Amino acid sequence: MKILAIETSCDETAAAVIEDGRKVLSNVIASQIDLHAKTGGVVPEVAAREHTVKMLPIMEEALSEANCEWEDIEAIAVTEGPGLVSSLIIGTQTANVVSFVKRKMLIPVHHIVGHLYSTWLGHDEEIKFPILVLTVSGGHNELILIRDHYDFEILGETLDDAAGEAFDKVARIIGLGYPGGPAISKMAVNGDSRRFQFPRIFLEKESFHFSFSGLKTAVLNEVMSFKGDIDEQFKADICASFQEAVVEVMAEKVKRALNKFPEVAEVHLVGGVSANLRLREKLQEVIPKDVIFRFPKAFSYCTDNAAMIGAAAYFLYKLQPERFRAETNIIPTAAFEILSLKYL
C-alpha cells in the first residue's frame, strides 16, 4: 500500500511516498533554515507563506522521485497537529483538496506519533513491543511506553522547555546560529564537559518528567558573569558542559524507566535531537545488552519529515481500515492531546 504523506507542522515543507509503512520511495524536504536564521528562530507567518510557495512542487517531486502516478497512491496522510497552526493549515488544506479531487482516503496523523514511527522507516526486521521511546525535539520531549501499535502511555514529558528548545536557546546565548542543536554538538566535540558544573534536574525520584529551563538559565548566568574573553574555547566548553547535563538527565530517566518496566524489548530515540551523537552514545551505555536500541536509520528521519507521517498513517490504517475515506474537513489542531485517549 502506497501512501503520499504531507508534513508542514513547523518550518519544513515535506512530502514523501511510503510503501507498507516502512519502505521509503521518496522523502522530500524543503527546509526553511536559511530564512529563519536571519531572525534566530521561526516567525510563524513567514513559515506559513513559504509553505504555500513550496507545498505543491514538493508534493510533485515526492511523486516523481517515487516513480508514482496518482493511480498508484491509495491514501493521503497529513500531520494535523500539534504544531504552528498557520503552518499546519497549509498541509491540511492541501491534503483536503487532493483527497477530494483525486478520491483518495485521508489519514490525519499526530505529529509526535509520526516521530514514534520514524524508527520503522527502512527496516525489514521485526520490531518488538513493548518499546520505550524517548522523543526529543524542538517543540516536545517525552518518554512514552508503546505496548502495541497505537497503544501509547506517556510516562513523562517536559514541564517547561523541550530539549531541542534548550539547545536552540543556549546557542543563541553564545551567538551560534539557528538551529542550535547541530551547532552545539559540533562545538562540543572540542570542549571540556567538566569545566562548568551545570545543574542536572532529575525532579522527584519516581518522576519521568523533564525540566530544562533551569539549565538554560544557569548557562545564561555563567555567560553573563564571565569576566574573561568569550573565545572559541569558552564557547566549546559551554557547549560540551551543557550537552553533557542534558544527556545525563535523559540517560538517567531511560534507566529508571527500564527498571520500572523490565519487560521493555526495545528502546527508541526519536526527534530532531536524536541526531545528537553524544546522546546516542550515552543511552547505549545505560541500555542492557538484551534490549535493542534503535534510532532513525537516516538523519533526515530524525528531524521533521513526511516519511514518518506515512509510516504512522499506515499502521493506523491497518488497525482501523474502515475508519478512513476521502475527506475535505481535516482542520489543524495545536493541542497536544493525550495520545492513548485519542487512539483507543
Q: Which residues bind ligand KG4 (CB under 6 A)?
A: 10, 137-139, 164, 167-168, 179-182, 185, 271-273, 275-276, 303-304
Binding mask 83-122 for Zn ion (x = CB under 5 A): ----------------------------------------
Q: Minimum CB separation from ligand KG4 for residue 274, in Å?
A: 8
Q: Which lies closer to ligand KG4 via its Cβ, residue 139 or residue 156?
A: 139
Q: Does 274 bind Zn ion (CB under 5 A)?
A: no
Q: Minimum CB separation from ligand KG4 for residue 83, in Å?
A: 8
Q: Minimum CB separation from Zn ion for residue 82, in Å?
A: 9
Binding mask 296-325 for Zn ion (x = CB under 5 A): --------x---------------------
Q: Which lies closer to ligand KG4 via its Cβ, residue 93 or residue 303?
A: 303
Among 32, 96, 137, 300, binds Zn ion (CB under 5 A): 137
Q: Minimum CB separation from ligand KG4 for residue 94, in Å?
A: 19
Q: Does 142 bind Zn ion (CB under 5 A)?
A: no
Q: Minimum CB separation from ligand KG4 for residue 52, in Å?
A: 20
Q: Which lies closer to ligand KG4 via its Cβ, residue 63 or residue 245?
A: 245
Q: Which lies closer to Zn ion via its Cβ, residue 11 or residue 304?
A: 304
Q: What nine digits make up the cell of 314?
A: 499506515
Q: Minimum CB separation from ligand KG4 for residue 250, in Å?
A: 11
Q: Of 179, 115, 170, which is closest to residue 141 (Cα–Cα)? A: 115
Q: Which does 181 bind (CB under 5 to 8 A by kind): Zn ion, ligand KG4, none?
A: ligand KG4
Of 27-35, 60-68, 130-138, 318-326, the segment contacting Zn ion by CB under 5 A is 130-138
